[in-house]
Chain A
Amino acid sequence: MTVKIYIPKDAAAVACGADEVAEAFKKQAKKAALKIEIVRNGSRGMLWLEPLLEVEAADGVRYGFGPVQEEDVTSLIKAGVLGAEGPKKIKHQLAVGPVEEIPFFKKQTRLTFARCGLADPVSLPDYKRLGGYKGLENALKLKPIEIVDIVSKSGLRGRGGAGFPTGIKWKTVHDTPPQQKYIVCNADEGDSGTFADRMIMEGDPFVLIEGMTIAGLAVGATRGYIYLRSEYPHAQIALNAAIAAAKKEGYLGDNVRDSGHAFHLQVRMGAGAYVCGEETSLLESLEGKRGLVRAKPPLPAHKGLFGQPTIINNVLSLAAIPYILDNGPQAYADYGVGRSRGTMPIQLAGNLKHGGLFETAFGITLGELVDAIGGGTASGRPVKAVQVGGPLGAYFPREYFDTAFDYEAFAARDGLIGHAGVVVFDETADMMAQARFAFEFCAVESCGKCTPCRIGSTRGVETLDKVRAGERPEANLAVVEDLCNTMKFGSLCALGGFTPYPVMSALTHFPEDFGRPAKKLPAAAE
Chain B
Amino acid sequence: MAREPWSEARTRQIVAEHVELEGPLMPILHACVETFGFVPNDAVPVIANELNLSRAEVHGVVTFYHDFRREPAGKHVLKMCRAEACQSMGCESLVKRAEDRLGIKCGETSVDGRVTLEPIYCLGLCATAPSAMLDGKIVGRLNEAKLDKLLKGAGA
In the complex, whether B60 has a CB less than 8 A from a CB of chain A is: yes
Which of A409-417, A424-432, A509-517 binds B? A424-432
* Structural contact, B26 and A15, CB atoms closer than 8 A: no
| A271 engages B121 (CB within 8 Å) | no
CB of A428, distance to nearest CB on chain B (Å): 9
Q: Count chain A residues whose beta carbon lies closer than 8 angstroms to a beta carbon of B.
A: 63
Cα separation A35 to B139 with both chains bound (whole Å): 30
A-B contact count (CB 8 A): 150
Contacts of B30 in A (CB 8 A): 230, 269, 271
B103: A residues at CB distance < 8 A: none
Check if B26 sits within 8 Å of A11, measured CB to CB: no
Q: Tell me whether A12 and B85 are in contact (CB under 8 A).
A: no
Q: Does B113 contact A (CB under 8 A)?
A: no
Instruction: Report if A273-B85 is in contact (Cβ < 8 Å); known contacts: A15-B128, A231-B124.
Output: no
B147 at the interface (CB under 8 A from A): no
Contact of B124 among A232, A271, A429 (CB under 8 A): A232
Once A15-B128, A273-B64 are accepted as A-B contacts, the answer to whether A192 and B121 lie under 8 Å apart by CB is yes
- Where chain A touches its partner, the secondary structure class is mixed
Task: Give complex CA distance A352, B85 in Å.
Answer: 10
Q: Which of A1-29 contact B (CB under 8 A)?
A: 11-12, 14-16
Q: Which of B84-112 contact A (CB under 8 A)?
A: 84-89
- B85 with A423: CB separation less than 8 A: yes
Q: Which of A118-126, A167-175, A282-290 contacts B (4 or more CB under 8 A)?
A: A282-290
In the complex, chain A residues whose CB is within 8 Å of the CB of B21: 266
Structural contact, B126 and A288, CB atoms closer than 8 A: no
Chain A proximity mask over B66-95: 1 for CB below 8 Å, otherwise 0: 111000000000000001111111000000
Partner-contacting stretch, out of A86-94, A137-145, A150-158, A193-201: A193-201
B140 near A350 (CB under 8 angstroms)?
Answer: no
* Bound complex: CA A287 to CA B126 (Å): 30
Tell me the minimal C-beta distance from B133 to chain A in angstroms. Answer: 8
Write out the residue numbers on chain B whose beta carbons fall within 8 Å of the beta carbon of A434: 84, 87
B84 engages A423 (CB within 8 Å): yes
B123 partner residues in chain A, CB cutoff 8 A? 11, 15, 231
Digitize A397-439: 1 where CB-to-B-CB distance is under 8 Å, 0 elsewhere: 0000000000000000000000001011110010000100100
A441 proximal to B (CB < 8 A): yes
Q: Does B122 contact A (CB under 8 A)?
A: yes
* A265 in the interface (beta carbon within 8 A): no
Q: How far is the CA of A355 from the CA of B57 in the complex (A)?
A: 43
**Contact residues, A259-284 vs B (CB, 8 A):** 266, 268-274
Interface string of B27-70 (1 = CB under 8 A from A): 10110000000000000000000000000010011001111100
| Residues of B bordering A, CB below 8 Å | 21-27, 29-30, 57, 60-61, 64-68, 83-89, 120-129, 131, 136, 138-141
Kindly list 18 other residue pairs between chains A and B, CB separation below 8 angstroms, not including A16-B141, A192-B85: A12-B140, A15-B140, A16-B128, A48-B127, A192-B83, A195-B125, A231-B124, A269-B30, A273-B64, A288-B24, A288-B61, A347-B127, A350-B84, A351-B88, A351-B89, A391-B84, A423-B85, A441-B121
Among all A-B residue pairs, the 3 with the closest Cβ atoms: A355-B127, A288-B25, A192-B83
- Provide 29 A-B residue pairs closer than 8 Å at the C-beta atoms, listed in order of the A residue: A15-B123, A15-B128, A48-B127, A190-B122, A192-B83, A192-B85, A192-B121, A192-B126, A194-B126, A198-B124, A231-B122, A271-B26, A271-B67, A272-B67, A274-B121, A286-B23, A288-B23, A288-B24, A289-B57, A290-B64, A306-B23, A347-B127, A349-B127, A350-B85, A350-B88, A350-B129, A355-B127, A356-B127, A429-B88
